[in-house]
């Protein structure tokens, strides 16, 4: 809710973009928004990670960001596969399964094979980026939901 209000305020403050335009933009634009969100968060997390664990901390934060970004890109692509009135629900469910599978697989692989990263708050960083991409993608998908035909006629 807070993130959607933030996007709405930014969109109306600039005057160039409207709320519905976020959902109506293409896959490339929505992917770009996800990349921008992850990049901004990583720029905030990287100094803290470096301060806590040095270069390993920054690498851990970067790999967590990359894993969450790849998972969210696949989830966003999967959400576009469905058509019809139930498409938003099926898209969100398919995206959730894909996002969780990729993120958990990346977490398991990095936790088992990269011991220094396990001690450098890998789970925390992945959770942070996972939640940020989930919230961003949810806002993008909800903004793209069209009102029912009956509601459009009365409006």
pLDDT tens, N- to C-terminus, the chain (155 residues): 565 666 566 555 554 445 566 666 788 888 899 999 999 999 999 999 999 888 888 988 999 999 999 999 999 898 888 877 777 788 888 888 999 999 999 888 888 887 777 777 888 999 999 999 999 988 888 777 766 665 556 55
Could you give the CA distance from residue 100 to residue 68 in angstroms, rounded to a whole number? 9
Residue 88 half-sphere exposure toward CB, CA atoms < 13 A: 14
CB 75 within 8 A of CB 136: no
Helical segments of 80-145, H only: 87-113, 115-118, 122-143
Q: What's the full length of the chain, in residues?
A: 155
What token pair was written down for 14? 């600039």
Per-residue b/e over 18-33, b at no fewer than 16 CB within 10 Å? eeeebbebeeeebbeb
Q: How far is CA 86 from CA 76, 83, 136, 145, 153, in A?
A: 16, 7, 21, 10, 20
Q: Is 48 helix (H, G, I), strand (E, B) or coil?
A: helix
Whole-model pTM: value is: 0.78
């Amino acid at each position: 809710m807070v993130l959607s209000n933030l996007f709405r305020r930014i969109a109306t403050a600039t005057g160039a973009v409207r709320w519905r335009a976020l959902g109506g933009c293409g896959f490339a634009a929505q992917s770009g928004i996800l990349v921008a969100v992850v990049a901004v968060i990583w720029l905030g997390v990287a100094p803290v990670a470096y301060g806590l664990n040095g270069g390993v901390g920054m690498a851990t934060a970067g790999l967590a960001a990359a894993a969450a970004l790849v998972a969210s890109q696949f989830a966003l692509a999967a959400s576009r596969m469905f058509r019809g009135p139930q498409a938003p629900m099926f898209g969100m469910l398919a995206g959730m399964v894909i996002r969780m599978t990729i993120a958990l697989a990346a977490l398991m692989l990095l936790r088992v094979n990269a011991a220094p990263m396990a001690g450098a708050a890998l789970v925390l960083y992945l959770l942070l980026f996972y939640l940020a991409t989930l919230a961003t993608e949810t806002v993008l998908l909800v903004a793209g939901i069209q009102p029912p035909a009956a509601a459009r006629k009365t409006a």
